[in-house]
């Protein structure tokens, strides 16, 4: 009997070899705490006078899936930003009236952005929201068409009048387009992601609650240690939203097709400057125009070629394929990319300093993926 028990115990200890606890240095701990707290508090957008207005949010919600914003009445924002797919489309590159060059960004926590789109071609959520309406490859409509369609629907026209104190018929087509985009922005600001397993761990670490910390898998803890430590991921994927909000180059090839490059941030700055809808323009509702400072001072540099916005990693497990062109299908592929990165492919000098092949072991790569998978939570919107 005693022999049997001893055998069983030996078997059990072979099967479940206890994993060593993960220890974090003071520096790693500080870096982890900087990825929170979550959720952030909402502040209305000063450049959009209807930001946070319930009537504008309701109109924006309706228009977001309304095909009348498209030339042929056959697609909407929600076609490429599908609420059932974390407000992305699951494709490598989106298809509107034609295939576009880039991957649809999953919409969430947008009040935290400084720049919008992969290249920051817009400096406000409302300016970003009117771009696809006009883009010949996306919805292919025009300001005139939007005004005509809003004016033709008594319900929409009345909602517009209630929010903006004027009517689509009385306002210029350009103003109707901007107001439509501001309502769309008011709705999109309410798309937020909830608390994640990582957030619970981060708060437990902050209060040294060992019992709560133990709810977070050891694989995720080891992956987190790589993320803030030798992976140096946190340098760019910084703060509560896992992005510094700026642009960089991590060696993703930027040919849109053979012989044609996507200029990245370099082109984004040119488009931003040329846009009549940027925050320096007449449609910014912020009286002091303090919101326009980053746009006033942004400089176009040679290093901006081939740079793309550092994406947020909140909900990243739900938002593949990855990178500006959707060229990496899974998180394992992304981790492999960073592990084996070809430094010859880096164009910018800044990226070259930070980025070098990590040469992760199979287990380290799996741990890093496990960590990235703990950044997911439910996506919700205002009712």
Range 223-262, binding ligand HEC (CB under 6 A): 227, 231-233, 235-237, 248, 250, 252
Residue spans of beta strands (DSSP E) within 211-294: 247-248, 255-257, 260-261
The nearer residue to ligand HEC, 38 or 227, going by C-beta atoms, is 227
Residue spans of beta strands (DSSP E) within the chain: 192-193, 247-248, 255-257, 260-261, 308-309, 379-380
Burial 228-243 (b: 16+ CB within 10 A, else e): beebbbbebbbebbbb
Burial of 280 (0-12, 13-18, 19+ CB in 10 A): middle
Check binding of 61 to ligand HEC (CB under 6 A): no
Query: Binding ligand HEC by CB under 6 A: which of 50, 159, 355, 365?
Result: 355
Q: Which part of the chain contacts ligand HEC (CB under 6 A), choosing from 2-10, 12-20, 79-87, 206-214? A: 79-87
Q: Binding string, 305-344, against ligand HEC, x = CB under 6 A?
A: ---x-xx-x--x--x--xxx------x--xx--x------
Closest of 246, 233, 356 to residue 303, by C-alpha = 246
The nearer residue to ligand HEC, 36 or 132, going by C-beta atoms, is 132
Q: How many other C-beta atoms can be found within 10 angstroms of the C-beta atom of residue 382?
A: 15
C-beta of residue 196 within 8 angstroms of C-beta of residue 38:
yes
The nearer residue to ligand HEC, 35 or 81, going by C-beta atoms, is 81
Query: Binding ligand HEC by CB under 6 A: which of 107, 177, 205, 228?
Result: 107
The nearer residue to ligand HEC, 195 or 232, going by C-beta atoms, is 232
Check binding of 370 to ligand HEC (CB under 6 A): no
- Quote the Cα angle for 269-274-276, to 5°: 125
Q: Binding string, 175-204, against ligand HEC, x = CB under 6 A?
A: ---------x---x----------------
Query: What is d(CA 34, CA 147) in angstroms, rounded to the nearest whole number?
Result: 45
> How far from the centroid of its chain's Cα atoms is residue 215's Cα?
27
> How far from the centroid of its chain's Cα atoms is residue 174's Cα?
28
Judged by the rule CB under 6 A, the positions of this chain that interact with ligand HEC are 69, 75, 77, 79-81, 94, 96, 100, 102, 104-105, 107, 110, 113, 116-119, 125, 128-129, 132-133, 138-139, 184, 188, 227, 231-233, 235-237, 248, 250, 252, 308, 310-311, 313, 316, 319, 322-324, 331, 334-335, 338, 351, 354-355, 358, 368
């Amino acid at each position: 009997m005693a022999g049997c028990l001893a055998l069983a115990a030996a078997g059990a200890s072979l099967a479940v070899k206890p994993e060593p606890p993960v220890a974090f240095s003071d520096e790693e701990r500080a870096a982890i705490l900087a990825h929170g707290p979550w959720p952030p508090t909402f502040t209305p957008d000063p450049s959009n006078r209807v930001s946070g207005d319930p009537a504008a949010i309701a109109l924006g919600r309706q228009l977001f899936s309304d095909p009348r914003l498209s030339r042929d009445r056959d697609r909407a924002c929600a076609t490429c930003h599908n609420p059932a797919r974390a407000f992305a489309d699951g494709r490598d590159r989106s298809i509107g009236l034609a295939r576009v060059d880039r991957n649809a960004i999953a919409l969430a926590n947008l009040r935290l952005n400084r720049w919008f789109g992969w290249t920051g071609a817009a400096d406000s959520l409302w300016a970003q929201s009117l771009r696809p309406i006009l883009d010949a490859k996306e919805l292919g409509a025009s300001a005139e068409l939007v005004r005509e369609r809003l004016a033709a629907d008594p319900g929409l026209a009345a909602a517009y009048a209630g929010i903006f104190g004027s009517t689509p018929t009385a306002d210029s087509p350009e103003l109707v387009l901007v107001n439509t985009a501001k309502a769309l922005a008011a709705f999109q600001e309410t798309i937020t992601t909830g608390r994640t397993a990582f957030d619970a761990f981060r708060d437990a670490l902050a209060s040294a609650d060992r019992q709560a910390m133990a709810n977070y898998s050891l694989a995720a803890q080891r992956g987190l240690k790589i993320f803030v430590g030798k992976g140096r991921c946190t340098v760019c994927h910084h703060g509560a939203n896992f992005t510094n909000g700026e642009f960089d180059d991590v060696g993703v090839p930027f040919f849109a097709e053979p012989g044609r490059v996507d200029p990245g941030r370099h082109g984004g700055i040119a488009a931003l400057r040329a846009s009549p809808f940027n925050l320096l323009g007449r449609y910014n509702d912020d009286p002091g125009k303090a919101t326009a400072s980053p746009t006033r001072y942004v400089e176009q540099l040679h290093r901006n070629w081939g740079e793309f916005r550092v994406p947020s990693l909140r909900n990243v497990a739900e938002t593949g394929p990855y990178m500006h062109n959707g060229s990496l299908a899974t998180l394992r592929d992304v981790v492999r990319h960073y592990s084996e990165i070809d430094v010859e492919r880096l164009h910018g000098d800044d990226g070259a300093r930070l980025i070098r092949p990590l040469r992760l072991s199979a287990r380290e790569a799996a741990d890093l993926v496990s960590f990235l998978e703990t950044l997911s939570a439910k996506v919700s919107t205002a009712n």
